[in-house]
Amino acid sequence: MRTLGRALAAIGLAAVAGCSGAETAIAPPPGVPTPAGCGTVNIAVNPWSGYAANVAVVGYLLKQELGCEVTSYELSETSSWAGLADGSVDLILENWGHDDMKKKYIDGQKVAVELGLTGNKGVIGWYVPPWMAKTYPDITDWRKLNDYAELFQTDQSGEKGQFLAGDPSFVTNDATLIKNLKLDYTVVYAGSEDKLIAQFRRAQQKKTPLIGYFYEPQWLLSDIKLVHIPLPRYTPGCDAVADKVACDYQPYDLDKIGRKAFVDSGSPAATLVRNWTWTNADQNQVAKDMTQNGLSAEEAARKWVDANRTVWEKWLP
């Protein structure tokens, strides 16, 4: 890998030996600003494996290539934005829309800035395991879901069908959709992404009924082809009033958010994050290595970095 020393040499800050053999740093020419050091970078970690994969690879490169000290904090999406305001968070590496937060913290308080797209395409929706779509072909028509509500009843849902959600901190429209589409279901939370995945795995393996919230990019979809149930078509503004949402989720071009003071400081970390883009397949590979293949975050990141030098070298300042 290209080291920080070599990177600095490339921009004219190489050390040269004097007569005594000691090394003296050459100062930049007059009028040329001294590049900012990296220092500490505080990254929010939201509670899903794809986000953790982002942090693993970006954090690895920040440390190995730029000499940064990286600190990460496990936070909900809302708390991550609040961290940009109070200075405890420098970077959000995977933002799913949140126009309300952008209006508050970027347009209003002016403490955050957009850093461009991650390259990942985000899809949120309602899914069933593939065995159900094969056995009940019309179950993917949302207008037929009430015909199957009894099939999804559990001890937790009572006389209604269970709709399985993930982590309670995830920002979703499911309860509102159920109400406004007049569906005989109730939301039950799995509790976390891991538990949501386990439930879908079990439902496919044991051929038990399950309908629930899911999303991509997500490594599980390379193992089990969950079947998406289209809801009434999304159109811009159909989800603008929270308690009146009756349309499918917006497709997302996921983006990155930075604390404005951190970005304005000239930190090379902000430049790398602005330049960083990769694919759903990249993220899924790293996330699966971390969650299923027994690799630590650092090992998974190193594996991806070693195999993709021509990709990440373009991200460096």
Beta bridge partners of 228: 127
Q: Taking Cα atoms as reference points, which of 11, 16, 5 lies closest to residue 29?
A: 11
Q: Which residue has the tokens 């299923």?
A: 292
The pair of structure tokens assigned to 238 is 């159909």
Query: Exposed, middle or buried by CB within 10 Å (0-12, 13-18, 19+), for 55?
Result: buried
User: What residue spans define the domains of the chain?
Assistant: 4-24+36-120+266-315, 123-244
Q: What is the pTM of this model?
A: 0.78
The pair of structure tokens assigned to 298 is 């650092």
Residue 140 has φ and ψ, to the nearest 5°, of -85, 5
Same fold, 4-24+36-120+266-315 and 123-244: yes
Whether 212 and 196 have beta carbons less than 8 Å apart is answered as yes
Q: Taking Cα atoms as reference points, which of 3, 15, 37, 64 lies closest to residue 305?
A: 64
> Could you read off the pLDDT tens digit of each residue along the chain, which spans 317 residues?
333 333 333 333 233 233 333 333 334 444 444 445 799 999 999 999 999 999 999 999 999 999 999 999 999 999 999 999 999 999 999 999 899 999 999 999 999 999 999 999 999 999 999 999 999 999 999 999 999 999 999 999 999 999 999 999 887 999 999 999 999 999 999 999 999 999 999 999 999 999 999 999 999 998 999 999 999 999 999 999 999 999 999 999 999 999 999 999 999 999 999 999 999 999 999 999 999 999 999 999 999 999 999 999 999 99
Q: Which fold has domain 4-24+36-120+266-315?
A: D-Maltodextrin-Binding Protein; domain 2 (3.40.190)
Beta bridge partners of 71: 42
Whether 214 and 226 have beta carbons less than 8 Å apart is answered as yes
Q: Which CATH class is domain 123-244?
A: alpha beta
Whether 192 and 183 have beta carbons less than 8 Å apart is answered as no
